Structures are given as C-alpha cells and as structure tokens.
Amino acid sequence: MKKTLTTLALVGLATAPTLALAAGAFEGDVQRQATNWSAIIMFFIFVAFTMGITYWAARRTKSASDFYTAGGGISGFQNGLAIAGDYMSAASFLGISAMVFDKGFDGLIYSIGFLVGWPVILFLVAERLRNLGKFTFADVASYRLQQTPVRTFAATGTLVVVALYLIAQMVGAGKLIQLLFGMSYSSAVVLVGVLMVLYVTFGGMLATTWVQIIKAVILLCGATFMAFMVLSSVGFSPEAMFQKAVEVHAKGIAIMSPSKTDPIDSISLGLALMFGTAGLPHILMRFFTVSNAKEARKSVFFATGFIGYFYILTFIIGFGAIMLVLNQPGMMETIVKNGKEVTQLVGGSNMAAIHLSKAVGGDLFLGFISAVAFATILAVVAGLALSGASAVSHDLYASVIKKGKANEADEIRVSKITTVILGVVAIVLGLLFEKQNIAFMVGLAFSIAASANFPILFLSMFWKGLTTRGAVIGGFIGLVSAVVLIILSPAVWVDVLKNEAAIFPYKNPALFSMTMAFAFTWLFSVLDSSKQASEEKAKFDAQFVRAMTGIGASGASKH
Amino acid sequence: MNDDVLKRVQSNPKFLELVHKKTSLGWTLSAVMLVIYYGFILMLAFAPKLLGTPLGEGSITTVGIPIGVLIILSAFVLTGIYVRKANTEFDLLNQELVEEAKK
C-alpha cells in the first residue's frame, strides 16, 4: 500500500470536505471490530509464505548489488508487476473504490492522474536512469556533479519522502487492521514494523520485490473476481449498472459527471501526480533491479497495463458497492459525527470494497480480501524501508562519509542497521501520530518528490548547464517551498493548526514549488561561473553518450 | 568510457541517428500524453458539463466514462508504441553502434 494514504491524502487534499468520508476510516476514531479469524488465518498464511521467500532470498543475497537491486536479475515483466504492486496499494484499492462509492465519476479522475505519469517516465526517464545509475537515483543526479553536496541533498530528499510515507502507511495500517482484523492499533503497528524489518534486512531487494509481485498477483485476481461478479449481476451491461447505482445513490444522476473544482488546484494536483511519481525514490530504485535499458522499458509497459487495468476494476468495484452494498441490511450504521447523526457504511466508505467482497463472495472471500489489504501494506513499507536504508548506506555512508572507499560488507551492514532504526522510528511515529490527521502527509511526499527530487534528476539528465551549486540550491528551494506551502495550505493551517483561514489558498503546492525549483536551479547554474562548474558541464557529453547507448552501464551480476 | 571510445561514438553518424530518433519519439509521445491529460484536466476545470452529457437519448452513461477509459487505454498504447520501437529498431542501431565503438 504505497498509496494507501497517497490516494486518501491526495483525494483529501484535492477534493475538499466531501472527501472527509473517504479519509474518515483511516483518520478519525475507528471502532475496533470483532476479531475476524478467517482474515487473520489467511494473512498468516501469506506471512509464512513470504517468510519462506525471505529465507530463500537471504541465501542468495551476498553482495551490495544483491541487497540493493536483487543483483539486477529481475525481468521486465516481474519488475512491471512489482512496480504495479507498489502502485496498487490498499488505498488505491480501498481509497479509490471508496471515492467512486461516494462521488462516482470523480474517482476516475484520480485514477487517471496516477496513471498518466507512467508513460512520461518511460519516454524520458526510465532508460537514462537505468544506464546511468547503479543503486539509487542519487547515482544519476551526482553523475558529473560533486558527490558530497548532491548526494547529501538527494539523500535528504529521499529520507523526507520515505519518512512521510512511512508515517502515513503505519497510521493507515493501524486503523485498517483495527477495522479488518479486530486487532489493537498498537499491536498492528508493531507487527507491520517488525515484518518490514525482517523482509528487508534478511531478504534485501530480492525478497522485497517478490513479496510485492505475489501481492500484486493476488490483489489483481481478487479485484478481477469482484468486478466480474458485479458485472455478472447486471448481465454485463455497464448501462444497467450505472442505472441501478443512480437509483439508489443519494446524489442520484450527479455521480455520473465530474463535480466542480478550482482550475489552479486541478492543474497543480495534476503536476504533483504526474511528476511526483518520477521523483519517488522507492519507485526509481526499481529500475536498477533489471538487467538493462530494454528490460527497464518493458517493466514500464507492463506496469502501465496492470495499473490501468486495476483502476478500471476499482471503478467497477466502486459502482458495484453502490449497487450491492449501499443501504443493504447489515451494511449500514448510524454514528454521531461532530454532534450530528450520520448514516454511513459500517466502518466508513473506505470499507466499500471490503463489504462488497462479502456481498459477492461470502465470509471466506471477505477474509481473503482483508488479508490482501494487509499484505499490501507490508509489501509497500518494505520497499520504502529499503529505499531509505540505501540512501543512508549508499549515498551518505559509502559516498559522502567514506568518499567511495567503503567496503561492501560494511556498506550492507550500515544498510541493515539503518533498516532496523527506520523500523523503530516508523513504529514510534506510527504510535505518536495515531490521533493526528495525517491525510496531508502523502500529498506532501508527492509534492516534495515532484518539487525537489524530480527537477534535479530531470535536469541532470537533460541539461548540460546544470551545476552542483544550481542543483543543490534549487533542489532545497523546491523541498522547503513544498513543505512551507503545505503548512500554509488549508490541509494543515486550518485543519491541523486550527487557524481561521489558510494563507496559501490551494490544496496542492506543486505548481508553485516545482516551478520555483526549476527556476532557481536554472538561475544558480547559469550564474555559476566557477572552474568546477565548467568542468561539470564538460562532463555532460560523456554522460549523454552513456545515457543514450548504455556503454559503461552497470550490468547484472553473475550468479 | 575513455576519450577514444567517446570520440568514436560521438562522431559515428549512427549515434546522431539514434539520438535523433529516440529523443524525437520520446518527446512526441510525451507531448501526446500531456495534451490528452491536460486536455482532460482543462475540460474538468472549464467545461465539466460537457463530460456529464449523456451518451445518447435516455442513456445514463455519460460521455465522461468512455473518455476516462480511453485515456487509461491511451497511456497503455503509447507505452506500447515506444517500447516496440525502442526494443527493436533503436536497440538494433544501438547494438551496431556499440560494436563499432569497440573496434
């Protein structure tokens, strides 16, 4: 569930109060449900199976390359599934289907935004990244620039994005598990943290990738079954499905068209979604797990196909839930929210897909889908932890502190220690933030990825004139402006800090912070007339040849 | 990569051809994706009613639904076009280039 809260947060950031419902189940107080044994048993089968994979992977993980990138031996198809798995989070699944359940057509808008970044990553980023880098995107950004400042910046960008994401995942996981399994919040958070550390420290990227692949396959199968059952109930006529949905939905025919949005907000969100993906360190890292540029391209092709298919399924699932779950006996509850009585789905709209699974497949299938939702969280946090750990061990420890002279065994050890620390930090923060509104966090992570990581990565590959000074100053301006604008925006300034009105009126800062990052990176690079700057520009040609042809690129390790 | 290899690659007309083909296809397809997506976003922002028009007389399905599904399909098709071109034609050219650089 890379995006468990991505969706919820962006959705929340972008579509204002109406979305409180979709975010509700993860945000507010969640009622602990009765212990769901079939879900717990199926979940433990998943855990046992993935632990077996981790054991298998551990025996094959020896070198740093094995640990960070599974030795570069993942195929394009497998990597496509793993990338899709990173994207098909519990939130994409629960959050987008909840959004369709609440608002109909609007859910589709988000799916599209999440998807369209992928073709652009393929056309402009994927193969250059693969040809230039080894383990992290900082390898590429610092290729011809000064190692220490650029890697320090890239590692900061990575750690900030990873930390925000991890907190959001942990809190989301705790709430979700309370609802699905009837476990307590704290034990759920600890369980997720411990399993994450086990997968990563023992199995490295190989285990992390296979856990993600398996989860992706199970989730796709489960969602396909649900969509099939929904469509079969209306004789495979979408028109009939929409007709029935419109009849029972409180908003009636309005669910078939988009609701009103602010143009600047839509464009800004569009930018964050599209380019944020190309700046997410744990996604970028996946391009180093394949053997060459050809496989890197294939992975995006398969990933785009799987993700697109999945989003079409969630749309059908959302409408299916309106048709088969909404207002059905036993599925609705009346709770008191802000002093008012509200009738909602049991557990909130985020549970729409879960209730639908019971409606179409009975208790056993409900357990299955609940277990898949939890497995999704695990697979995503493992990828995040590995990405954060590699920023510390590969970028900070090996390159900045040891100046590229660290021995491999030490580097891996640092990586594993970092993973354990990240696990502890994630658990502690997960517990601390239990009662906080964290919906803005993943939106913030996406905005930072689009405003700090992406501009520098992009310019380092495409613009000869980029210098160290420009990259570091521009990158930090992007990072800081994204954070400041989010703090001043309605999501934090009004909702969290309880001020009257927001200083920055828009929900997403990307349009402004990303523009600032590009502008200042350009400005400070152009103004940089140092000897070092001209040396850096001179190295561009060699970099360009390697990016284009792959001559000198790091290959798959042999074993 | 040493300077010799670099010079040899850079002066090889095949390199220029590869760069030209790869970048022009990459930027063209990116532009197509951006136009499709931002066309959709601008339609949402300025003409949301258009997307809410029923497909036909008495139909509940609106124009926006097939458009949304088509955008998803277009993303997949565009990546397919690029991968097909790049993994056959461009890679062949690239291979020749790498061979010649080794000589």
Instruction: Dump pLDDT digits (tens) for A134-143.
Output: 999 999 999 9
Instruction: Record the tokens describing residue B95, joined without a space.
Output: 């291979």
Average pLDDT over residues A335-350: 79
Say if residues B63 and B50 touch (Cβ distance below 8 Å). yes
Q: Which two tokens stand for residue B56?
A: 């036909």
The answer for A344, left when phi > 0, alpha when psi is -120 to 50, beta otherwise, is beta
Q: Kindly state the DSSP code that residue A35 receives in the 8-state scheme.
A: P
- Which residues between 273 and 292 in chain A have a beta carbon less than 8 angstroms from any beta carbon of chain B? 274
The C-alpha R_g of chain B, in whole angstroms, comes to 22
* Nearest residue to A97 (alpha-carbon basis) of A110, A114, A87, A84: A110
Q: Which residue of A has its CA nearest to B11?
A: A545
Residue with more model confidence, B72 or A444: B72
User: A482 vs chain B: nearest CA distance in angstroms?
Assistant: 22
> Are B37 and A260 an interchain contact pair (Cβ–Cβ within 8 Å)?
no
Q: Sort out which chain B residues have CB atoms less than 8 A from A105's CB and list them.
A: 51-52, 62, 64-65, 68
Q: What is the pLDDT of residues A19-50, one digit of tens each?
A: 333 333 354 456 666 777 888 888 889 999 99
Helix or strand (DSSP H, E) at A308: helix A293-324
Residue A31 or residue A96, greater confidence: A96
Q: What residues of A are in contact with residue B78 (Cβ under 8 Å)?
A: 119
Give the 3-state secondary structure of A107-131: HHHHHHHHHCHHHHHHHHHHHHHHH
Give the least confident one: A24-28, A333-337, A532-536.
Answer: A24-28
Hey, which residues 85-144 in chain A have their CB within 8 Å of chain B?
A: 105, 108-109, 111-113, 115-116, 118-120, 122-124, 127
Position B1 scores a pLDDT of: 66
The CA distance from A111 to the nearest CA of chain B, in Å, is: 9
The one-letter code for the residue type at B20 is H
CA A503, CA A424: separation in Å to the nearest integer?
35
Query: Quick count: other Cβ atoms within 10 Å of Cβ A285?
Result: 24
Smallest Cα distance from B95 to chain A, Å: 8
B25 CA: distance to closest CA in chain A (Å): 8
> What is the dihedral sign for C-alpha A402, A403, A407, A409?
positive
Which residue among A119, A263, A266 sits closest to B29, beta carbon to beta carbon?
A119
What percentage of chain A has pLDDT greater than the value 90?
A: 64
On whether the CB atoms of residues A518 and A465 are closer than 8 A, the answer is no
Mean pLDDT of A483-500: 89
Partner residue facing B69 (CB), from A124, A243, A312? A312
pLDDT of residue A32: 65
Query: For the purposes of burial, counting CB atoms within 10 Å of the CB of A338, is it exposed (0-12), middle (13-18) or buried (19 or more)?
Result: exposed
ipTM of the complex: 0.95
Q: Average pLDDT for residues A402-426, to the nearest whole number?
A: 94
Q: Is residue A293 packed enough to be buried (19+ CB in 10 Å), middle (13-18) or exposed (0-12)? A: buried
Q: Chain B partners of A299 at a C-beta cutoff of 8 Å?
A: none
Give this prediction's pTM: 0.90
- Amino acid occupying residue A187: S
The reply to whether residue B49 touches residue A257, judged by beta carbons under 8 angstroms, is yes
For residue A304, list chain B residues with Cβ-Cβ distance below 8 A. 75-76, 79
The pLDDT value given to residue A22 = 35
Residue with tokens 């000064």: A146
Residue A8: pLDDT band with limits 50, 70, 90: very low
pLDDT on residue A39: 83
CA A418 to each of CA A165, A289, A413, A423, B92: distance values in angstroms, whole numbers, following the listed order:
17, 21, 8, 8, 43
**In this predicted structure, what is the pLDDT of residue B88?**
94
A559 pLDDT above the threshold of 90: no
Measured between beta carbons, which residues in chain B are less than 8 angstroms from residue A88? Answer: none
- A549 to chain B, any CB pair closer than 8 A? The answer is yes
From the list A521, A130, A470, the residue with the least C-alpha distance to A300 is: A130
Candidates A103, A116, A464, A554: best to mutate against B (most CBs of B within 10 A) is A116
Given a cut of 90, is residue A77 above it in pLDDT? yes
Residue B76 pLDDT class (50, 70, 90 cuts):
very high
Q: What are phi and psi of A6, to 5 degrees?
A: -55, -55
Residues in chain A: 559
Task: Give how far A278 is from chain B: nearest CA, Å.
Answer: 14
Mind listing the pLDDT tens digit for each residue in B18-75? 999 999 999 999 999 999 999 998 888 888 889 999 998 889 999 999 999 999 999 9
Chain A from 250 to 269: CB within 8 A of any B CB: 253, 256-263, 266-267
Mean pLDDT for A46-62 is 93
| Beta bridge partners of residue A342, listed in sequence order | A335
Q: What is the CATH number of domain A28-435?
A: 1.20.1730.10
CA distances A90 to A1, A97, A215, A353, A370, Å, are 5, 10, 11, 10, 10
For residues A136 and A415, the answer to whether their CB atoms sit within 8 Å is: no
- CA distances A229 to A164, A321, A356, A551, Å, are 37, 11, 10, 51
In A180-239, the residues whose Cβ lies within 8 Å of chain B are 238-239
In this predicted structure, the answer to whether residue B103 has a pLDDT above a threshold of 80 is: no
Written as one letter, the residue type at A144 is R
What confidence category does residue A556 fall into, taking pLDDT thresholds of 50, 70 and 90?
Answer: low
3-state SS of chain B: helix, strand, coil percent to 5? Answer: 85, 0, 15
Cβ-Cβ contacts under 8 Å, B22 against chain A: 548
CA A503, chain centre distance (Å): 28
Beta carbon pairs, A and B, within 8 Å = 157
What is the rounded distance in angstroms from the CA atom of residue A133 to the CA atom of residue A288? 7
Are the CB atoms for A216 and A81 separated by under 8 Å?
yes
pLDDT of residue A383: 93
The more confident residue out of B103 and A295 is A295
Scanning every residue of chain B, which has its alpha carbon at the shortest distance from the alpha carbon of A247? Answer: B60
Option in A111, A258, A270 nearest B64 (CB):
A258
Provide the 8-state DSSP code for B62. Answer: B
Nearest Cα of chain B lies from the Cα of A330 at a distance, in angstroms, of 29
- For A465, other C-beta atoms within 10 Å of its C-beta total 15
Q: What pLDDT does A439 receive?
A: 67
3-state secondary structure of A1: coil
- Alpha helix (H) ranges present in A104-256? 106-115, 117-120, 127-132, 137-141, 147-181, 185-233, 238-248
Closest among A303, A313, A280, A270 to A119, alpha carbons compared: A303
For residue A311, what is the nearest residue in chain B, using CA coordinates?
B72
**Rg, C-alpha atoms of chain A:** 23
- pLDDT confidence band for A440 (50 / 70 / 90): confident
Measure CB to CB from residue B76 to each of A270, A304, A552 and give the nearest one: A304
Q: Which residues contact A495 (CB under 8 A, 6 or more apart)?
A: A437, A440
